[in-house]
Chain A
Amino acid sequence: MSTETQRRGAALPWLLFLTLLPLLLMPLGAIFVFAGRAGPAGLIQALGQPDAQFALRFSLLIAFGTAVVNGILGTFAAYVLSKYRFRGRETLNIIVNLPVAIPTVVVGTSLLLLWGPIGLLGQLLDPMGIQPMFTPVGVLLAHLFVTFPYMLGAVKPVLDELETTYEEAAYTIGANRWQTFRFVILPALRGGLFSGLLLTFAHSLGEFGATVMVSGNLRLRTQTAPLYIFAQFEAGNIETANAVAAVLALTSFVIFILLQRFTQRRERRVS
C-alpha cells in the first residue's frame, strides 16, 4: 500500500475503540436493547400498530420516489456539468451541491416560504386549490432538495473520468446521441448510479429536519418513520419508538453494507 512503515502495537487501537464506544457503538446498541425489552411479542405488537406501519411504509415510499427522481435528475445534472462548458457552469456546480451545507431545518423553512399558503408561489397556487405543503408532495419536495447532491456526487466523478473520446468513438462508429448514452455511457456509470441511488435512499429514509417543517407531522398522512419515532418518544412510548428505530437502523445497516461491498468490488476491479 503506502511506503510508510506500518506500526505495530495495540495501545492506540484500544484507545480509539474506547473513545468510540460511548460515542458511536453504545448508542446504536441501546436502540436494540430498548427495542427488545418487551420481548419479541412486544416488538411485533409495537410494529403492528397502524401508525407505525404507515410511517414505515410512507418513509420507504418517499425514499424510493426520491431515489428515482433524483436518480434521473442527478444523472442529467452530472452529465451536463461534466460534459458541457458554458457560462455560469462553476456557479451552477456550487449551487447544486449547496444542499449538503444548508441545515435541513432551513431547507424546510425556505420550502414553506416558497410553497406555503403565504409563500411566494403558494400565494398564487392557494386560490387554485393547490397546496403542496403538509402533503406527501411537500415531503417529497423536501427530500429531493436535501438529497440532490448525493446522486451528483456519485455520478459526476465517474463521468469526469470518462474521456470525451469514449463518446466520440461511439459517434464515429455511427451511434447517435441516445444510443451512445444508452449503450456506452450508462453502462460505464452503473457503479456510480448504484451507489448514488443507495445513498439517496438512505438519506431520504432518515431525513428529519426539513420533513418536520414541511409535513405538518400529520398522522397517517405525512408522518415519516423518523417523525413517528420522535412523536412516540415525546409521548413517552419509548418501546414503540425504539421498535421503529430498530427497523430504520437495520435497513440503514443493510444499505450501508451493500454500499461498502459494492465500492470495494469496484476498487478491486480498478486496481
Chain B
Amino acid sequence: MAIILDELTARYGDTIVVNRVSLEINEGELFVLLGRSGSGKSTILRMIAGLTPPAGGRIEINGRDVTHLPPQARGTGFVFQNYSVFRHMTVAQNVEFGLRIRRADPATRRQRSTQLLDLVGLGGLGGRFPDQLSGGQQQRVALARALAYEPAVLLLDEPFGALDVKIRAQLRQSLKEIQNQLDVTTILVTHDQQEAFELADRIGVIERGFLMEVNTPEALYHEPRTEYAATFVGGGNVLVGRMEGGRIKLGTVSLPVPPGAPPHEEDASVRLLFRPETVYLSDVPPPEGSGIHTLGEATVSDEIFGGSQQHVRLEMQAFEGVRSLQPAPPYGRRVFHIEAVQTSDRAAAQTRPRPGDRVWVGLRRYHVLDPSGLKILISCAETPAGEAAAAVGALLAQATAGPTTLLAVGEGERLAETRRLLEERLRRWPGGPSPRVTAKVRQGDVAAEMLAEAHEGDYELVVMGRAKDALGPVAQRILEQTETPVLLVQDARPHLARILVCTAVGEPGKTDVRFGGRIARRARAGVTVLHVARPDAEPWERERTEEHLAGAQAVLEALGVAVRTKIQPQAVFGLVATIIDEAEAGDYDLIVLGAPAWQHPGRLRWTDFASQIVRNTARPVLIVPMLA
C-alpha cells in the first residue's frame, strides 16, 4: 500500500468537513477523488500533503506514519488548480527548485529539468518566464516541478479546473501517459466525472465529507452500491420497486432479480438503476425471448441531438407504488421521467422518436442497489413534542440504518436560529455524524412545508411531534396524499423494545404488520399482534381472525422477529379502551395502527377512532396506510 488513510477526519470550526475516511491506495495507482465542490475532497488531499492538519485519524505514506509531519518531510508532489508556478523564476528554475533545496549539484539539476520538460512537452522552453506561457503550459511546468524530486506520491487538486475544454483534454492525455511512464502513485481530485472516468484506476466518491463508495470506473458506473454514486456518476434512472415472491415488482411489471444482486427482504423496497444507454425504444413491444424486459408504453417528451448520441426523455404513467428517484419526478403529477440514449446512426437505431410519439420502453440491463433501510423524515420542531419526535426518530433511524432527513421549518428572523439548532442536532446525532443523516431547513409555513417535503422526498416514514389530543391536520394530509406511514410522538421513549400491532379494525392488514415487522427486526424489538374481538362475533369470524393472526405470525417470524399474538375481548368501554389498556399493561414503546385507504368508505369512522387512541395515550403511535 502506497497510501493508507485511517479514519481521517477534518473539522472547520464546528463543522466536520472530512468524516472518518479510510482508504488504501496501491503502489503506482492513479486514484481519483470525485465529488461536488465543498464535499471535502480537496481537504483530504491537503491533509495528505500536510497543508491542513487533521482533527483525527492517521495517514501513512509508503509505510511511514506521516500524520504529524510537516509538509516538507512528506515528500509529496502537489499540483494546485491555480498552477502557483513561481513567477520570478524561469521554467527551468521552477522545475529545479526541489533539487536546489535538496542541494543537488547543478549538472544533475539541469539534466533532470531538461528530461522532465521534455516529458511534459515543454522541451526547449526552460529559459522562459511563466508569464510568457499559456495556462496549460504553466500547469505542465507545475507538474514537472512536482515530479522533479521523485516524490513518493503525486497529488493533484483540480489540476485542469482553470483550463478550457480542449487544453484540458490534451493535459489529461499527457498526465495519463506520464503517470504510466513514471509509475508514480497519484491522487487526483476533481468534480468532473468524465475526467474521473478517463483517468482513474479507481474512483472514490466523496459527499459531505464521507467516502461513499470506492470502485473502478466501470464498476462504479454499471454496478454502484449506493444511490448517491448511482445518481452522481453518469446519467441514470433509479426506480424504487418492491421485492415480492423473489421477483422485483414495479407496479404491474415483474422483473427477475439479476444474478449477484444484493439480497433484499421480502416486501422491502428495491432500488433499480438502469443507465440511459440500456433503455430499449421501439414502435413495437420488445419481442419475446429477446432478453429485453418490457417496462411499458411511454410518450416522448423531449429529444435532444447530441452528436454521436440522441438523448430522449420519456414520460411514463406512474405505476402504483413505484417511485422514481432519478430523474426527479415532476411535481404534482402521477408520471415519471426516463432518460434514454440512442445512437445517432439512423441505420442502427430502432426508431427515431419525436416529441409526442408513443414508444415501447424496455430494459436491456438493470442493476439493483444495496438495500437502503427505511427512508425517514424527522420533523424537528422546537417544542417538547418536536424534541420527543426527534429522539424517537433517532432511535428508529439508528435501528433501520436508512437515509434520514432532519427537517426544520423557519421563517424570517428565526430562520438563522432554526438552522443553527438543526445543525447542532446533527452534530449531536447519537453515534456521531453519519453519511445517511442530512439536515434540511425549509422556509415558510410549517404545515405547508412539511407536506411539501413529505411529497417531494418520497419518504418511507414521517416522524413528527403531535399535540396531546389530535392527529393534527398535517399528519392527516400526509397520510391521505402520500400514503406514507406517519409516526406521531408526544412523549419520547428510551428504547424501542416492545411494539404493539393492532389489527382491530377490519381484517388484520398486511401492510401494517409487515411495516411493524421491518422496524421490529432492525430494532430487535418484540412484537405483539393484538386483535380485539367483538363480543358478538360469530364462530366463523373467530376462525378467520385466528387464521389471520397465524398468517401475521408467520410473516413476522419469517422476518426473524419474536412475535406473540393475542385476542382480547372488547372491554365494556369499547375498542379504544381495550387497546389503550393493553398498551399500558404491556408498556409498549410503539403502537402500530393500520389505516384504510383514504377512499375507503370506513375512513371517516377510522379517523375518529385514531384520534381517540391518540387522545388517550402519550405513547408513540405509528399509522400505516393500507395499500390496496
User: Which of B78-86, B175-183, B188-196, B205-213 is found at the contact surface with chain A?
Assistant: B78-86
Contact A168 B84 (CB under 8 A): yes
B491 to chain A, nearest CB (A): 45
B88 contacts chain A at the CB level, 8 A cutoff: yes
Contact A190 B88 (CB under 8 A): yes
Contact B88 A169 (CB under 8 A): no
Please report whether the interface of chain A is mostly helix, strand, loop or mixed according to DSSP: helix
The CA-CA distance from A190 to B77 in the complex, in Å, is 27
Q: Which of A159-180 contact B (CB under 8 A)?
A: 163, 165-166, 168-176, 179
The CA-CA distance from A105 to B301 in the complex, in Å, is 80
The CA-CA distance from A166 to B131 in the complex, in Å, is 15
A15 to chain B, nearest CB (A): 41
Known contacts: A163-B84, A269-B131. The answer to whether A174 contacts B70 by CB under 8 A is no
Instruction: Please give me the residue from chain A that is nearest to B89 by CB atom.
Output: A187
Q: Which of A165, A183, A187, A190 contacts B84 (CB 8 A)?
A: A165
- Report which residue of A165, A176, A179 has the largest number of chain B beta carbons within 10 angstroms of its beta carbon: A165
B46 to chain A, nearest CB (A): 8
Contact A174 B72 (CB under 8 A): yes
User: Which of B95-103, B256-264, B375-383, B616-624 is found at the contact surface with chain A?
Assistant: B95-103
Q: Which residues from chain A contact B87 at a C-beta distance below 8 Å?
A: 188
The CA-CA distance from A168 to B155 in the complex, in Å, is 13
B116 contacts chain A at the CB level, 8 A cutoff: no
A61 contacts chain B at the CB level, 8 A cutoff: no
The CA-CA distance from A165 to B87 in the complex, in Å, is 13
- State which size class the interface on A falls in: 10 to 19
Contact A168 B72 (CB under 8 A): no
The CA-CA distance from A269 to B82 in the complex, in Å, is 19
Q: Which residues from chain B contact A269 at a C-beta distance below 8 Å?
A: 131
The CA-CA distance from A190 to B149 in the complex, in Å, is 28
Instruction: Please give me the residue from chain A that is nearest to B71 by CB atom.
Output: A171
- State which size class the interface on B falls in: 20 to 34
Contact A169 B98 (CB under 8 A): no
A184 contacts chain B at the CB level, 8 A cutoff: yes
B119 to chain A, nearest CB (A): 18
Q: Which of A168, A173, A176 contacts B97 (CB 8 A)?
A: A173
Q: Which of A138-192 contact B (CB under 8 A)?
A: 163, 165-166, 168-176, 179, 183-184, 187-188, 190
Q: Which residues from chain A contact B98 at a C-beta distance below 8 Å?
A: 173-174
Contact B49 A183 (CB under 8 A): no
Q: Per-residue 0/1 for B41-61: is the Cβ within 8 Å of any A Cβ (1 yes, 0 no)?
A: 000000001110000000000
The CA-CA distance from A188 to B74 in the complex, in Å, is 26
Q: Which residues from chain B contact A172 at a C-beta distance below 8 Å?
A: 49-51, 71-72, 74, 76-78, 146, 155
The CA-CA distance from A173 to B142 in the complex, in Å, is 11
B residues adjacent to A (C-beta < 8 A): 49-51, 70-72, 74-78, 80, 82, 84, 86-89, 97-98, 100-102, 131, 142, 145-146, 149, 155
A/B interface sample: 21 pairs, CB < 8 A: A163-B84, A166-B86, A168-B71, A168-B78, A169-B78, A169-B86, A169-B142, A170-B97, A171-B50, A172-B49, A172-B50, A172-B51, A172-B71, A172-B78, A172-B155, A173-B77, A173-B101, A174-B98, A175-B97, A175-B101, A179-B101
11 new A-B contacts at CB < 8 Å, known A166-B84, A173-B97, A187-B89: A163-B82, A166-B86, A168-B49, A169-B86, A171-B50, A172-B50, A173-B101, A173-B145, A174-B72, A174-B98, A188-B87
